[in-house]
Amino acid sequence: MKYYEGDCVIELDVNNEIRKATVRPSDVLLDVLREQFGLTGAKPGCKNGDCGTCTILMDGLPAKACLVLAVEAVGHKILTVEGLGGHTPIQEAFVQYNAFQCGYCTSGFLMVCHALAERKPNADEYEMEKWLQSNICRCTSYQEIREAVKSVLKHI
Amino acid sequence: MSTTIGENIHRKEAWDKVSGNAKYTDDKPVTGYLHARILTSPHPHARIKSIDCSKASQLKGVRAIITGNDFPVLSGALLEDRPPIAKDVVRYAGEPVAVVVAATEAIALKAVRMIEVEYEPLKAVFSTGEALKKDAPLLHPDLGEYKRIQKDVQPVEYSNIASKFQIRKGNIEEGFSESYAVIERNYKLPPSDHLAMEVRAVRAEISVDGKIKIETSSQAPYTVVKQLSSCFQIPAGNIEVNVPFVGGAFGGKAPVTLEFLAYMACVKVNGAPVRLTVSREEDMATAPCRLGLEAAIKIGAKSDGTITAATFTFYLDTGAYSDISPYMSKAIAVDCTGPYNIPNLSCDSYCIYTNHTYSTSYRGFGHLCYTFCVERAMEDLAEKCGMDPVDFRKTNAIRPGDLTPNQVVSTYSNTGNPELCLEKLKTLLHWDGRRVKRIDNNRVLATGIACLWKSATPPTNAVSGSIITFNSDGSLNLNTGVVEIGSGGQTNLAQMIADRLKMDIKDIHISLAVNTRLNPEHYKTVASMTNYMAGNAVMKAANDVLEQLKTMGAQIYSCAPEEIEVADSKVFKKEQPDQYIEFKDIVSGYQTQNGTSIGEPVIAKGSFLLKGLSKLEPNTGKGRTGPAWTVGAQAVEIEFNQSDYTYKIIKAATVMDVGKVINPNGMKEIIYGGMSMGLSMSSREVYEYNKEGRLNTPNLRTYKLLHIGEEPLYQVEFVETPQTDSPFGSRSISEHGIIGIPAALGNALAAASGIPIQELPLTPEHLWRAKEGIHDSK
Ligand code: FES
Ligand code: FES
C-alpha cells in the first residue's frame, strides 16, 4: 500500500462515481463518506467494529466503514445504501416485512443482506445468521429481519 | 371506504428508512460547525481541587474551554440536583468536568487530553444498602436546599434519599394473620443501558439577536425548551428545538443532557454553530442509564392461594443524580402489586443516590425491575401453596370493583382483563401445568410465566395538540409534536384520521421532524402515551375538519350540515352520493361555476389536556396518577443444560389487553421488540463496575446485546377490552412487551435449575456461582 502523510487528496470510487477527498491518513472511511460526500446512510453506532450500523460494501463484500481507513479504500469499489437505488429486492423486502423500527441499523443490515443475496443466493439459514451476526438491531426482535432476508434467498 | 383501524399499515416513513434518506441529528452536514468534546471524571467521587486548561487552550484550533465554574447552574427534571458540568465535586466516573470547543473533532479530543485536573478522592458508595448506612458519605450535602420542580418529590435532608413514596392499604397485621403460607425474599438488579443504536447528539447555534436553535436526538423537545429556559433564565420563546428522526430512545433520550453542554459551548464561542456528538463509551458512562433496584418482599396467601397481604420495600439506585427517578419510585409504588388484588398492602419505595452513573426512564419506567422481583416471589408463593402458577395468578387477578394499590376502583375500562390474558396464554402455550419437562440426562425444557401491568405517571397537566391542513390535491397534512423514535406512533395517528374522515391513508402526510416553534406541544414522546394523548388531540382535529367541511357543504348544497356526508375525499349530500365535490375543490374554499367563493380554507385543530389526575396522599398513596392500566401475561420457554448452566431461549409469548387493535402487525412488532429487549437485558446486560468504581463494560465489545440467531420464536396475541376514554378504546402498549419478560425468564430458569434466582443478569456464569455459592472475588 502507498505511504500517506499529512493532508492528502485521494480518489474514491463510491456508488460508481469517482470522487475526490482531502483526508488525513488516520481518517476513517465512515467519516469521509458522511462528512465530505454527504452519504449519511452509513451510520456511526460504536466506531469500534461492534455494531455494524456503518456497514458498506467494498468490492461487493460487507465492511465496517468505521474500521477502514479512507486511504485504504483507494482502488476499491465502495457501495453505500444510497447506491442501492431504492428498489432492490432486499429494500422491498424490508418494507414488506417491517424489518425496522427506528431505522438506525437498517442501512447496515441492508448492505450485509444485499451482499449475501448477491453472493450466496443459495445460503441456508445457518449461513445467513453467520453473516448477519456482525450487526445489531436494538428495536426489532430480529424475527422481522430474518423473514425479510429469507424472502430474498432462494432456498429457505 | 372501509376502515383502516385494524389494518396492517406500513410505516409512513418506511421508504425513507430503507434508502438512507432518513436523517438523524448527526446526519446534518458538519461544515460550518465547531466541534465540542467532553472531559469526564475518572473518579466516582472526588473533590475537584483544580483544573488547569492553560496547555489545552494554547493548542491551535481550540476556541473555548468550559468548566463547571463558567455556568454555576443546577438542572433536573423533578429536583434540581445536577450541575450540567461538575462543579467542585464529581459524583460518578464519567461525569463531565470540562467541554472543549475546537475547529475539528480531532483537535477537541487532543485538547481534552491536555486539561490537567487535580482530584481529591472521596469515599464512594456503590449500593443502596451502603448509601443508607448512618456513616455513609453524603453525595448531596445541600439536598435540602435544592429547588423542587415537582412538590411531591421530598428529599430527606442529610441523607442519600432523593425521594420516597409509600402505599398503605387495609390492615397488614390482620392480612398476614389470615395467611397460610408466607414467603420472604430479597432481590437485586444491577443497572444497565438503553443502548439505542444512535448515540446522543446535539447541535446548537445562537443568532446575534439571541435566538437559540437546538437540533437534538430527543424524545422531549418541548422539555428541552423548558429546562434551558429555566436553567439559564432565557425566555422560552427565544428557544427553538428541532428533532429529526431519532435512532432509538427507550426513555434514555427523554432527559435533557447534552443540550445544556452544547448551549454553554455555543455561548462561549459567541453563538457560532457547535456540534456535540458523544462516543459510545460516553453515551454509556456519562449519559444516564437504567436504574438498579434492590427489593425486600413479603407476601402471604391462604391455602386456596388467595393473597391476603404483602409488604414491599424497594430501593432504587438512581446513581449520582435523581433525574426522573423519584417518579419511577412513585410509579413503582402505585403499581407495586402487579395486576393482582392484594387487600392489605404496604409499600415503601425509596430513590437513593449512589456513585453510579445517574439513571433515567427506561422502557417500562421501572416496571420491569420491580416486576422481576414481585413475579419471582409470586412464583415461589404459588409453589408453596401447591398451586399451578397460572391458576395462582388467575385466582389473584385484579377484577372490576377491586382497589388498586393507589385505591382506584378497578373497572374493565381502566384496568382491562388480566384473567382473560392468562386464559389465552394457556391456550397459546398448550399449557398442561408442567413447568419442567426432561429431554435427556442433562437437558430440560422449562416454561416461566409472569404477568404485567403498567399505568403512566405523567404530570397531572400534560398536554398534546394537533393541526390539520390540506394540500392543493386534497391530501391532508397532519402536524403534531410526536417524535418518530421508532414506535410508529405517527402512523397510528394517521390511521385514526383516515378512519374518522373515511379517507385513504395514502392521502395523509405526516410531519416526521418536530420543530417546537411550528408543531403544537406534545408533552413528551414517552410513557407509550401517543395513542391516548396525541390520539385524543388528533381525533378532535379530525372532527373539526368534518365540521368545517359540512358547514361549507351545507352552504353549497343549500341544506343542513347534518345532511352532508364526507367520505373518500369527497363531500356530498347523503341522499345524492353521485353528486360530490372532491376535497381538492373544497379544502381551500369553494368556487361556484359563476366564480363566487364560498367558505374558507380548512385549517383544523385539536388539543388535549390530561384531566382527573391527582397527586398521591403522602401517607396512603391514594390518588389517581394515570388514565388507565395496560395488563398482560407473558411466558418464556427455555432449554436448559443442567451440566453446564447454559440455556437456549426457545419461545417468548405475550398476550396483552391492548384495548383495540389499531395496526396488528405494527403492534405485534413493537411488543416483539419489547420482549427481545427484555430477554437481552435479563440474560446478559449489566453495568459492571470495577474496584475503582469505573464502568467495566462501557462499549459493545464488553457490554453484550442479543444478536440474530440467539432470538427465540416470538408470539403475540391480543385481548381487546376497550379503554372508554381513549380513541377507539386503544391502550398504551409501546413499552409493555418488556415488563414481564425478565421475570418469566427467571421463573423458567429457577424451575429448570432449582436455583432460587434473585439477581440479574442470568448468565450461565451467574447461575453457576449462585448454585455453587461462589462469589466474585472483586
Ligand atoms: S460504527 Fe462501525 S461497527 Fe459500529
Ligand atoms: S431498527 Fe432501531 S436499531 Fe434496528
| pLDDT number for residue B527 | 64
Q: How far is the CA of B311 from the centre of ligand 1 (A)?
A: 46
pLDDT in tens, B535-586: 999 999 999 999 999 999 999 999 999 999 999 999 999 999 999 999 999 9
Which residue in B has a C-alpha nearest to residue A40's C-alpha? B27
How many residues are recorded in chain A?
A: 156
Q: How far does Cα B323 stand from its chain's mean position?
A: 13
Q: What number is the average pLDDT over the span B49-73?
A: 98
- Cα–Cα dist B554/B560, whole Å: 5
CB B212 within 8 A of CB B478: no
DSSP state of A71: G
Q: Which atom of ligand 2 is nearest to the CA of B17?
A: 1
B196 CB neighbours in chain A (<8 A) are 102, 104, 138
Grid cell in block for residue A95: 418494507
How many residues are recorded in chain B?
A: 778
Question: Do B442 and B573 have their domain in common?
Answer: no
B668 CB neighbours in chain A (<8 A) are none
Question: Do B119 and B40 have their domain in common?
Answer: yes
Neighbour-count burial of A2, counting CB atoms closer than 10 A to its CB (0-12 exposed, 13-18 middle, 19+ buried): exposed
Q: What range defines the domain where residue B367 resides?
A: 292-458+613-772
Question: Which residue in the set A41, A50, A132 is minimally distant from B701, CB to CB?
Answer: A50
Task: Place B2 in a pLDDT band, splitting at 50, 70 and 90.
Answer: low
Contact state of B198 with A104 under an 8 Å Cβ cutoff: yes
Domain boundary residue, one of B559, B592, B609? B609
Before B761, cis peptide (omega within 30)? yes
CB contact residues (below 8 A), chain A span 35-74, against chain B: 35, 38-48, 50-51, 53
- Cα–Cα dist B464/B444, whole Å: 50
| pLDDT number for residue B479 | 95
Q: Is the CB of A95 under 6 A from ligand 1?
A: no
Question: Nearest-CA neighbor of A79 among B283, B393, A88?
Answer: A88
Does B26 map to a domain?
Answer: no
Question: Do B590 and B713 have their domain in common?
Answer: no
| Contact status of A146 with chain B (Cβ, < 8 Å) | yes
Does B169 map to a domain?
Answer: no
Q: What number is the average pLDDT over the span B370-395?
A: 97
SS3 at position B163:
strand
Question: Do B318 and B442 have their domain in common?
Answer: yes
Task: Place B524 in a pLDDT band, splitting at 50, 70 and 90.
Answer: confident
Tell me the pairing of strands B161-169 and B181-189: unpaired
- Cα–Cα dist B567/B498, whole Å: 10
Grid cell in block for residue A142: 430480529
CB contact residues (below 8 A), chain A span 103-122, against chain B: 103-107, 110
Res B135 pLDDT > 60: yes
| pLDDT number for residue B747 | 98
Domains of chain A as residue ranges with CATH:
8-83 (3.10.20.30), 84-155 (1.10.150.120)
Q: Tell me the H-state helices in B254-317.
A: 258-268, 280-285
The 10 Å Cβ neighbour count of residue B204 is 30
Please give the torsion angle defined by the CA atoms of residues B61, B67, B72 and B75, in that order, rounded to the nearest 10 degrees: 90
Neighbour-count burial of A40, counting CB atoms closer than 10 A to its CB (0-12 exposed, 13-18 middle, 19+ buried): buried
- Cα–Cα dist B506/B215, whole Å: 29
Pocket probe mutation, ligand 2, options A104, A141, A143, A146, max atoms within 8 Å of Cβ: A104
B197 CB neighbours in chain A (<8 A) are 43, 45, 51, 53, 102, 104-105, 136-139
Does B738 map to a domain?
Answer: yes
- Cα–Cα dist B606/B110, whole Å: 51
| Contact status of B32 with chain A (Cβ, < 8 Å) | no
Question: Do B651 and B502 have their domain in common?
Answer: no
Q: Is the CB of A4 under 6 A from ligand 2?
A: no
Tell me the shortest Cα–Cα distance from B415 to chain A, in angstroms.
27
A100 CB neighbours in chain B (<8 A) are 17-18, 486
Does B520 map to a domain?
Answer: yes
Mean pLDDT for all residues in chain B: 96
Q: How far does Cα B461 stand from its chain's mean position?
A: 19
Which residue in B has a C-alpha nearest to residue A56's C-alpha? B20
CB B650 within 8 A of CB B668: no
Task: Count CB pairs under 8 A between chains A and B.
Answer: 156
pLDDT in tens, B21-46: 999 999 999 999 999 999 999 999 99
| pLDDT number for residue B597 | 93
Q: Is the CB of A50 under 6 A from ligand 1?
A: yes
Res B487 pLDDT > 90: no
Neighbour-count burial of B126, counting CB atoms closer than 10 A to its CB (0-12 exposed, 13-18 middle, 19+ buried): middle
pLDDT in tens, B719-777: 999 999 999 999 999 999 999 999 999 999 999 999 999 999 999 999 999 998 887 65
Q: How far does Cα B103 stand from its chain's mean position?
A: 36
Question: Do B447 and B475 have their domain in common?
Answer: no
Q: What number is the average pLDDT over the span A114-119?
A: 97
Listed in sequence order, the residues at least 6 apart from B774 whose beta carbon sits closer than 8 Å to its beta carbon are B768
| Contact status of B666 with chain A (Cβ, < 8 Å) | yes
**CA dihedral (B139, B144, B148, B153) positive or negative:** positive
SS3 at position B381:
helix
B675 CB neighbours in chain A (<8 A) are 141
Q: Is the CB of A100 under 6 A from ligand 2?
A: yes
Grid cell in block for residue A103: 431505522
Count of the separate structural domains present in chain B: 3
Does B189 map to a domain?
Answer: no
Which residue in B has a C-alpha nearest to residue A30's C-alpha? B27
| pLDDT number for residue B773 | 84
Q: Is the CB of B459 under 6 A from ligand 2?
A: no
Domain boundary residue, one of B568, B585, B609? B609
A103 CB neighbours in chain B (<8 A) are 13, 16-18, 22, 245, 247, 486
Q: What is the 3-state secondary structure (H, E, C) of B740-763?
A: CHHHHHHHHHHHHHCCCCCECCCC
Bridge partners of residue B453, in order along the sequence: B631
Q: How far is the CA of B519 from the centre of ligand 2 (A)?
A: 26
Contact state of A80 with B20 under an 8 Å Cβ cutoff: yes
- Cα–Cα dist B547/B561, whole Å: 8
Taking the alpha carbons at both ends of chain A, their separation in whole angstroms is 41
Question: Do B416 and B504 have their domain in common?
Answer: no
Question: Do B490 and B365 have their domain in common?
Answer: no
Question: Nearest-CA neighbor of B172 among B314, B309, B302, B305?
Answer: B309
The identity of residue B118, as a single letter, is: E
Res A127 pLDDT > 90: yes
SS3 at position B310:
strand
Contact state of A141 with B672 under an 8 Å Cβ cutoff: yes
Grid coordinates 418469566 are at which residue?
B744
Q: For residue A102, what is the enclosing H or E element?
A: none
Does B394 map to a domain?
Answer: yes
pLDDT in tens, B691-725: 999 999 999 999 999 999 999 999 999 999 999 99
Tell me the shortest Cα–Cα distance from A2 to chain B, in angstroms.
24
Strand order in the sheet with B580-582: B564-567, B570-573, B580-582
CATH number where B661 lies = 3.30.365.10
Q: How far is the CA of B280 from the centre of ligand 1 (A)?
A: 10
Pocket probe mutation, ligand 2, options A139, A144, A146, max atoms within 8 Å of Cβ: A139
Question: Do B623 and B579 have their domain in common?
Answer: no
Question: Do B492 and B594 have their domain in common?
Answer: yes
| pLDDT number for residue B484 | 86
Percent of chain B with pLDDT over 70: 99
Question: Do B277 and B302 have their domain in common?
Answer: no
Res B220 pLDDT > 60: yes
Does B185 map to a domain?
Answer: no
- Cα–Cα dist B543/B727, whole Å: 12
Q: How far is the CA of A136 from the centre of ligand 1 (A)?
A: 10
CATH number where B76 lies = 3.90.1170.50
Mean pLDDT for all residues in chain A: 96
Q: How far is the CA of A116 from the centre of ligand 2 (A)?
A: 20
Contact state of A141 with B15 under an 8 Å Cβ cutoff: no
Q: How far is the CA of A71 from the centre of ligand 1 (A)?
A: 18
Backbone angles phi, psi at A146, to 5 degrees: -55, -45
The angle subtended at Cα B42 by Cα B37 and Cα B46, nearest 5°, is 115
Grid cell in block for residue B90: 464529581
Grid coordinates 424489518 are at which residue?
A99
Which ligand is the nearest neighbour of the Cα of A109? 2
| pLDDT number for residue B776 | 63
Res B530 pLDDT > 90: no
Which residue in B has a C-alpha nearest to residue A44's C-alpha? B198
Bridge partners of residue B186, in order along the sequence: B296
| Contact status of A89 with chain B (Cβ, < 8 Å) | no
Backbone angles phi, psi at B386, to 5 degrees: 65, 35
| Contact status of B515 with chain A (Cβ, < 8 Å) | no
A46 CB neighbours in chain B (<8 A) are 280, 699-700
Which ligand is the nearest neighbour of the Cα of A51? 1
Tell me the shortest Cα–Cα distance from A66 to chain B, in angstroms.
13
Q: How far is the CA of A142 from the centre of ligand 2 (A)?
A: 10
Interface predicted TM-score (ipTM) of this complex, two decimals = 0.97
Question: Which residue in the set B29, B195, B246 is minimally distant from A38, CB to CB?
Answer: B29
| Contact status of A133 with chain B (Cβ, < 8 Å) | yes
Question: Do B412 and B548 have their domain in common?
Answer: no
> Considering the entire predicted model, what is its pTM?
0.97
Question: Nearest-CA neighbor of B275 among B287, B284, B286, B263?
Answer: B263
Domain boundary residue, one of B553, B575, B609? B609
Res B778 pLDDT > 70: no
Question: Nearest-CA neighbor of A117 among A57, A30, A42, A28?
Answer: A57
Contact state of A101 with B487 under an 8 Å Cβ cutoff: yes
Which ligand is the nearest neighbour of the Cα of A94? 2
Pocket probe mutation, ligand 1, options A29, A48, A57, max atoms within 8 Å of Cβ: A48
Which residue in B has a C-alpha nearest to residue A149's C-alpha? B708
Does B82 map to a domain?
Answer: yes
| pLDDT number for residue A156 | 65
